[in-house]
Structure 1
Amino acid sequence: MPQAFCLHVAGDFACFTRPEMKVERVSYDLITPSAARSIFEAILWKPAMRWRVQRIEVLKPIRWINLRRNEVGAVISTTNVQQAMNAGQGDLALYVEDERQQRAGLFLRDVAYRLHATLEVRSDEPRQKYEEMFQRRSSKGQCVNQPYLGCREFAADVRLVDAASAQPEPIDETRDLGWMLYDLDFTHATSPQPHFFRAQMQGGVVEVPAFEEAAA
């Protein structure tokens, strides 16, 4: 049986953007399965493995904050990048003063979650090898990149939960959270398709279905 891992994740701010809101950033009520998966991947990821998020526990009341931020409204052109690669030189600078945009956002504040996930290995390699690697890295606080809560500027404080230690109870709240983004299906790499699921929070806990059960 796959070993279940649990991470305690917390931060001052978070934004798990609703795709239907287009330009303005409006967060879901809590972390999405894809954002939870990325936190596990920030600690350990290999091409032969995939994290399967099973449960999300909400440890603090859902609270909101309105913020306006300066963002860059453009990206460097891939054509310019290709020309610079071919020529061996080129101007790939992006001048913030020319591309700055101010946008409003509705974000979460003072968040804390317990994330439960198992590891799937899609090769002949033993799963135990990767589980031991994750156990070792997460217990030491090591990561490939800084875990974040939806946006890279919202850094996450992450620690491995010891099953033997006392843990706080999830919030006492039950609600229908509506349709939530589950993850992207990269079966066709050039055209990834979003999958959604109906998120139900029962006593502060959201049980995440298998990816195959999510609606495309």
Structure 2
Amino acid sequence: MGYGIKLKVWGDYALFSRPEMRVERVSYDVMTPSVARGILEAVHWKPAISWRIDRIHVLNPIVFDNIRRNEVESKASKRKTEIYATEERQQRASLVLKDVAYIIEAHFEMTDKQGEEDTPEKHYNIFLRRARQGQCFHRPYFGTREFPVQFELIEDDGDIANSVHSGTVDLGYMLLDQTYQLNDKGEVVEVTPYFFRAEMINGIVEVPSRREAMR
């Protein structure tokens, strides 16, 4: 295992979209590992390191709320570089989480893209410095840019708040990660999802490695 970190994250709303719900968005009960990794990468990421999520602490009660959001019908691409929101706007219902707070426990591993100056100590200290100062390359968000993330570094285990959850809760199958196969033009031709059977035990979700997950 590489250098470990703990980061507390919280926000007013979150939408961790379930992939089987394609029209009306429905959130998972808790934050997914892929969203957690995206938050860490927003604070610090380089090709030389790869973040691995170890566990997610669920601090607040799981409360859902129905809202309506404006979306556009299509996505920007190389062929379609302009989208006119007034022409493609759609209003859709979303089942989102309200008043969320988590602690992300994670570590990073060095990749085969590391250079001579890339050391674990260097990237670990960069992350600590940026997290302490609240710096990020872009504002992380809980599933959608409408729901920004606030964060702070946890440096003492005594600072970890107790969860309101107790016992074991089966959260069902949850998206762990996705890999992308590209063609010669750099276009995505195949997406392989990885799922795992998520359980929350006393407010903690243990996250398996991709090798331990099911395709």
Cα shift at 1:44: 0.5
Cα shift at 1:75: 2.9
Aligned ranges 1:75-86 → 2 under 5 Å: 75-76=75-76, 78-81=78-81
Larger helix percent: 1
Contact persistence 1:170–1:203 (CA under 8 A)? yes
Pick closer, same or farther for the CA change 1:101–1:185 going to 2, 3 Å.
same
* Whole-angstrom CA distance in 2 between matches of 1:76 and 1:166: 42
Cα shift at 1:165: 4.2
Contact persistence 1:147–1:158 (CA under 8 A)? no
SS in 1 for 2:91: strand
Share of identical aligned residues, percent? 46
Residue in structure 1 matched with residue 4 of structure 2 by the alignment? 4
Moved beyond 6 Å, runs of 4+: none
Q: Which has the larger radius of gyration?
A: 1
Cα shift at 1:80: 4.8
195-204 or 124-133, which moves further after superposition?
124-133
* Whole-angstrom CA distance in 2 between matches of 1:214 and 1:27: 21
1:203 aligns with 2:202: yes
Contact persistence 2:130–2:136 (CA under 8 A)? yes
Q: Which consecutive unaligned segments of at least 5 residues does structure 1 have? A: 82-91
How far does the alpha carbon of each residue in 1:120-159 deviate from its partner, in whole angstroms, 9 at most, with x for none? 1113532111111111111111101101001111001111
192-201 or 164-173, which moves further after superposition?
164-173
Aligned residues: 204
* Whole-angstrom CA distance in 1 between matches of 2:91 and 2:145: 17
Residue in structure 2 matched with residue 160 of structure 1 by the alignment? 153
With the length of structure 2 as denominator, give the TM-score of the two structures: 0.90
Contact persistence 1:9–1:114 (CA under 8 A)? yes
1:24 aligns with 2:24: yes
* Whole-angstrom CA distance in 2 between matches of 1:193 and 1:134: 30
Q: Which consecutive unaligned segments of at least 5 residues does structure 2 have? A: 183-187
Residue in structure 1 matched with residue 185 of structure 2 by the alignment? none
Residue in structure 2 matched with residue 137 of structure 1 by the alignment? 130
Over aligned residues, Cα RMSD in angstroms? 1.5
